[in-house]
Chains A and B, each alone.
Chain A
Amino acid sequence: MMSLSDTATPRTATSPDWDLFRRRGKSILVHCIVLGLVAIMLLPLVYMVMMSFKTSTEIAQDPLGLPDSLYWGNYMAALSSMGYVRSVLNSMGITISVIVVVVFSGAMAAYPLARLQNRISRVIVMVMALGLATPNFVTITPIYVIFRDLGLLDSYLGIVLAFAALKLPLAVFFYTSFIAAIPIELEEAARLDNCNNWQIFWHVIRPLLAPVTATLSLFVMIMVWNDFIYPLLLLTDKDKLTVMIAVYKFVGNTGIDPTKLFPAAVLGSLPLLLMFAVFQRKIMAGATAGAVK
């Protein structure tokens, strides 16, 4: 284990100047090493982008080299045959619908859970915790059967509800801890003005939920966008596919062709990576919200 002392140095150093010099040098070295390790972690992504611009002969002859030129042919081929634009629109539409359902029903459910500590609340919280822990391949079979019986297979409504059920527990936990931190005095003032529960929720609580709603929406978006098994099984209509299924169907799972795989991987990840670049702070804060709680 290297000892990483940016400030603590041996006291035997001869002169203060020399000491400072050594400290600086060590600090620069450590920064470089850590940045180097971070760069190594990013290599697979560099590889993905690089490969997407290579022709198949280039890939065969020089599998790791930089592409000779930015060859857009792979992207052209992918864009014309994977139904990309349509699938992006589908994913966006499904994501927004899931967010609407999850935000409304999640925030509403969280309100009593944050305000009433009793057995009913504890049972509901337990159910939500169970929902968080349950792998989605455990419920996929019965959901498939239920959907088939209800005629919800291959419908946007079906997939939106299935996703909503999957993400609601997270929403309820987000909102419950957030609402619990809102001073109860605000509500009591409204109650004295004869506001009913709904009016208090709508006019006092709801306006305060914007920041947590934003974070939650980003998380729902990431999960819905990247989820694989639900849309794979619940949607078969070519016009309803989500981005990841479009990628999966385009690339296939046997005898993978790199000139298809890499541009599809880039296209499939691009919207979320752009979003991450823009909302990085918000997403990172949300990801660690549970750790600070």
Chain B
Amino acid sequence: MRARLSLYWFTVPALLVIGLFFIHPILLTWNMSLTNFAGIGEAKDVGWRNYERIFTRDRYLQEIWLTLWYTVIVVSALTVTGLFFAAMLHRLPLIRNFSRAALYTPAMMSFVVVGYIWQFLYSPLNGGINVALRDLGLGAWEQNWLGDPALALYSVAFTQIWMFTGFTCAIFLAGFAGIPEEIGEAGRLEGATSWQRFRYLELPLLGPSITVSVMLTTIGTLKTFELPFILTKGGPDGATRLLSIDIIDNLFGQYKFGFASALSIVMLVIVLVVAFLQNKVLRDRENA
């Protein structure tokens, strides 16, 4: 037994790196969150005041709500678009591999580049989308996509959905590939339409893929700040001010390290609670 336990020496290098640059920082975040540390100078202990502020001001509660809402939009849309393309491509082997790679290409790019391209596509004057609408005779649909508080969040979400549709599509295609041939065959012999086969035969068998896809996209979406950071900086009028954007702003705009740390801890707890609940609900549903 001792010989076996000595195997754990192998984990030392990894745990050292993780300990120094992940665990230690998180503990430090916790410590800083109880102070008014401003980056330099003395940090004064302020107890729970930072947290009190977060949970008593509408501004922060709204940001938490916005962060969750943004995640719900992106994750549900990604599940639908990914399933749509995967169901189609599963039936079209001729173009499957090519299309899968083509759809995945945006996910290979950085948020910075994607953010820049879409900022220009969305721009109100000669931006690609408005010009295209004008050329198609739909000039009435032109919008100030990122400048209108009612639209901005959805425009940012749309970009993220565009970016990761190929990712969920790839996951679902792997799920489809795991469905035994005979099942589709049986449905076909019964004269089921394509939609019926999808709805009643394939979809129920895609449970595990849906679990994986929803969990990965949820955590991934909660973790992003780059797109709103590049596209809107939280504006207009706070319409896209996700919790993450406020953390970055408190840190590097105002050097409120203490307060930013408290926001970070709140964010971390939200991510963990969402991940835990989701895992539980989705796995239970799968097993039911």
Q: Which residues of A contact B (CB under 8 A)?
A: 1, 3-8, 11, 30-31, 34-35, 37-38, 41-42, 44-45, 47-48, 51, 59-60, 63-64, 101, 104-106, 108-109, 111-113, 115-116, 120, 124, 127-128, 130-143, 145-146, 161-162, 164-166, 168-169, 172, 197, 201, 222, 225-229, 233, 244, 247-248, 251, 253, 256, 258, 261-262, 264-265, 268-269, 272-273, 276, 280, 283-284, 287-288, 290-292
Assembled-state Cα–Cα distance A227/B112 (Å): 9
Q: Most chain-A CB neighbours within 10 Å: which of B17, B113, B166?
A: B113
Contact residues of A: prevailing secondary structure: helix
Please, how many residues of chain B have a CB less than 8 angstroms from a CB on the other chain?
101
Contact residues of B: prevailing secondary structure: helix
Closest residue of A by beta carbon distance from B30: A142
| Complex contact A244–B225 (CB within 8 A) | no
A51 partner residues in chain B, CB cutoff 8 A: 120
Assembled-state Cα–Cα distance A284/B14 (Å): 27
Q: Given A34-B88, A48-B117, A141-B260: A228 and B110 within 8 A (CB)?
A: yes
Q: Given A38-B102, A146-B28, A291-B175: A135 and B271 within 8 A (CB)?
A: yes
A164, A227, A287: the one contacting B17 at CB < 8 Å is A164
How far, in Å, is A247 (CB) from chain B's closest CB?
6
A265 partner residues in chain B, CB cutoff 8 A: 113, 116-117
B149 at the interface (CB under 8 A from A): no
Q: Most chain-B CB neighbours within 10 Å: which of A115, A143, A166, A247?
A: A143
| Complex contact A130–B7 (CB within 8 A) | no
B75 at the interface (CB under 8 A from A): no
| Complex contact A168–B17 (CB within 8 A) | yes
B201 at the interface (CB under 8 A from A): no
B105 partner residues in chain A, CB cutoff 8 A: 42, 45, 273, 276
| Complex contact B11–A4 (CB within 8 A) | no
Which chain B residues in 223-241 approach chain A with CB under 8 Å?
A: 223, 225-226, 230, 233
| Complex contact B22–A225 (CB within 8 A) | no
B141 at the interface (CB under 8 A from A): no
Q: Given A139-B22, A165-B20: A44 and B117 within 8 A (CB)?
A: yes
| Complex contact A138–B175 (CB within 8 A) | no
| Complex contact A135–B222 (CB within 8 A) | yes
Write the B1-44 contact mask toward A (1 if CB under 8 angstroms, else 0): 00111111111011101101111111011001000000100000
| Complex contact B106–A45 (CB within 8 A) | yes
A273 partner residues in chain B, CB cutoff 8 A: 105, 108-109
Assembled-state Cα–Cα distance A293/B110 (Å): 27
| Complex contact A115–B7 (CB within 8 A) | yes
| Complex contact A272–B108 (CB within 8 A) | yes
Closest 7 CB pairs of A and B: A165-B21, A226-B110, A109-B14, A142-B25, A142-B28, A288-B174, A112-B7
How far, in Å, is B117 (CB) from chain A's closest CB?
5
